Amino acid sequence: MRLLERDDAGGIRLTKDLPSNRVPPYAVLSHTWGPEEEEVGYKDLEDGRAASKPGYDKIRFCADQAGRDGLKFFWVDTCCIDKSNSSELQEAINSIFRWYRNAAKCYVYLADVSTCKRDADGVPSWTWAFQKCRWFARGWSLQELIAPTSVEFFSREKARIGGRNSLEQMIQSVTGIPLEALRGNPWLPLLS
């Protein structure tokens, strides 16, 4: 597993491939992908072009939030996996659930949810956008919701909307995932 590391000067760099028994505590970013040419890939980090791409903003957000949470390391799927290496890509696909489960924090960045919009009474109107956001329509959302112990949702402005626990009723309504699974016991509904 390869992670991103925030250095003392605020720079971001890739770690070497870490053996599974030597992985430090880390955060993980869950997000929807933009156009491929805007996302930061493994090669972009290696070549020093990462900061010039629009997708770097999500990586910087993850680094900053992880730092606020006392974490130096974090994982982002677009750039921690060398997708040109077919064996590494296959290993990543087979390991992603475990990588999310072992993360200290999972940050869900919702590019299509704004906390700045307000209704006629001045109340933030992000709840409707949250329930309709693209993130819930992705194939990976189920595992990214139930695997980590801590899941926190953030708006496009990088404002914390809430956690999996505080938003569980809304999440259950949108996804149909049983509350028991959202609360950390994914197998209970299957056994009853």
Domain housing 144: 4-191
pTM attached to this predicted model:
0.91
DSSP code per residue over 91-139: HHHHHHHHHHHH-SEEEEE-TT--SS-B-TTS-B-HHHHHHH-GGGGST
Number of domains in the chain: 1
Q: Residue 159: what pLDDT?
A: 95
Q: Residue 119: what pLDDT?
A: 75
Closest CA to 58 of 80, 83, 43, 84: 80
Task: Give the integer Cα–Cα distance in Å for 115 and 11.
Answer: 28
Q: Residue 192: what pLDDT?
A: 44
Per-residue confidence in pLDDT tens, the chain, 192 aa: 999 999 888 889 999 988 888 999 999 999 999 899 999 999 999 999 999 999 999 999 999 999 999 999 999 999 999 999 999 899 988 899 999 999 999 999 999 999 887 777 776 778 889 999 999 998 788 889 989 999 999 999 999 999 999 999 999 999 998 888 888 765 544 544
Say if residues 2 and 17 touch (Cβ distance below 8 Å): yes
The residues that bridge with 105 in the sheet, in sequence order, are: 27
Say if residues 115 and 155 touch (Cβ distance below 8 Å): yes
Structure-block tokens of residue 105: 């924090």
Structure-block tokens of residue 102: 């072992």
Task: Give the integer Cα–Cα distance in Å for 49 and 134.
Answer: 27
